[in-house]
Amino acid sequence: MRKLIALLMVFALLLSMAACGGSSDNASSDSSDEAVMIGVSMPTQSLQRWNQDGSNMKAKLEEAGYKVDLQYAGDNDIPTQVSQIENMITEGCKVLVIAAIDGSSLTEVLKQAKEQDIPVIAYDRLIMNSDAVSYYATFDNFQVGVMQGQYIETALDLKNAKGPFNVELFTGDPADNNATFFFGGAMSILKPYIDSGVVVVPSGQTTQAQVSTQDWKTENAQSRMENLVTSNSYSPKGKKLDAVCCSNDSTAMGVVNALTSVGYTKDNMPIITGQDCDKPNVKSMVAGLQSMSVFKDTRTLADKVVGMVDSIVKGSEPEINDTKTYDNGTGVIPSYLCAPVICTVDNYKEILIDSGYYKEADIQ
């Protein structure tokens, strides 16, 4: 009888353990079903870098166990982005990661996020005039411009040469706060040479408003460069153009298109800067048409943002490394700045291919 009772007790214990195991599986399933939703709002799919940013962000967040509502706002359509963010708030997203089309256009919709205590991370572009912005994750965008200016400074030996060197300037969309930092960084290097006469801007266009490019579009930059070629008589055999400081790759591509259409080749192309290392621009560097691009590894930025989201969801403070630079009009936003690097034909394989960012076939 005692043996029978003992066997029955063992059997009962096994049934209890099995039941606990089943309960654990169900809880895991329930936990998966109730995974925290994160809203990710990107400005457009018309530029390669935003496609990469969005896909990297989604993959990293899902890998960390979150659900992700990733939305692209058409082709930089502000009402679409506002509507998408409203839907994210309604659907119960617990954190919003937003790359704004216009840094000043989201004030009203983000009031809804603040009312519901939904933290907002401004992604790469600072959202202006909103106290709903909790954190900012980006690259050191002023330093990006500094790198572009320094590249021109070194390539033309501005510290030692008498000049004058003919230089034109291109930056991005006036609604994008980043354009201010890119342009400001470049001008911190170039303006002293302009003031001294070592560098001349024949067009006379030296303010950010004068050199902006609506929507960062290649065709808009190309149209302006074509006008500059005509009005200033630039040509491969005529008036020399020594450099064009472009804030990013889409504007650089427009400049290259305009110059090649009037006969410029790798043998007489002016120095042309860029940013983002878009595939067509890397090809352009390899072909000798674009001189450099500033590389911002979106995988690094995605990792940092996922870390921020994780800290917020768990109730701890995210890692930040800048508490002084980025004031959005309501106060300084705690920020994490990733480091950009210069990419040229001499090091692109190490930076882009060996790191796995691109395959060799992508730029052939």
Please report the DSSP string for 89-123 in residue order: HHTT-SEEEE--SSTTS-HHHHHHHHHTT--EEEE
The helix/strand/coil state of 332 is strand
Q: Which has the closest alpha carbon to 43: 1, 78, 85?
A: 78
Residue type, 151: Y
Strands (E), the chain: 37-42, 67-72, 95-98, 120-123, 133-139, 165-170, 199-200, 243-246, 271-272, 293-295, 335-338, 341-343
Residue found by looking up tokens 């919003």 in the block: 96
CB 211, CB 183: distance < 8 Å: yes
- CA 137 to the chain's CA centroid: 10
pLDDT score at 177:
86
> In order of start, what are the domains of the chain with their CATH numbers?
33-140+297-338 (3.40.50.2300), 142-295 (3.40.50.2300)
β-bridge mates for residue 39, sequence order: 69, 96
Among candidates 142, 101, 75, which has minimal Cα distance to 294? 142
What's residue 137's pLDDT?
96
How does DSSP assign 13-38, residue by residue? HHHHHHHHHHHHHHHHHHHHHTPPEE
pLDDT in tens, 167-218: 999 999 998 889 999 999 999 999 999 999 999 999 999 999 999 999 999 9
CA distance 322 to 308: 14
Is the CB of residue 50 less than 8 Å from the CB of residue 40? no
The stretches in the chain having pLDDT less than 70 are 1-33
Q: How much is the pLDDT for 59?
A: 92
Ramachandran angles phi, psi of 326, nearest 5°: -105, 95
By C-alpha distance, which of 249, 228, 248 is closest to 239?
228
Instruction: Give whole-number Cα distances, 159 to 81, 167, 187, 192, in Å.
Output: 46, 15, 15, 11
Q: How far apart are CA 15 and CA 25, in angstroms?
A: 15
Task: Label residue 224 left, alpha or beta by phi (over 0 means left) and psi (-120 to 50 means alpha).
Answer: alpha
pLDDT confidence of residue 29: 30
* Residue 171 CA: distances (Å) to CA of 103, 156, 245: 16, 20, 8
pLDDT at 33: 54
* Cα 172 from Cα 128, distance rounded (Å): 17
CB 294 within 8 A of CB 339: no
Q: Output the pLDDT for position 45.
A: 87
Q: How far apart are the first and last CA of the chain?
A: 82
Residue found under tokens 């052939």? 364
Pairing of strands 341-343, 293-295: antiparallel
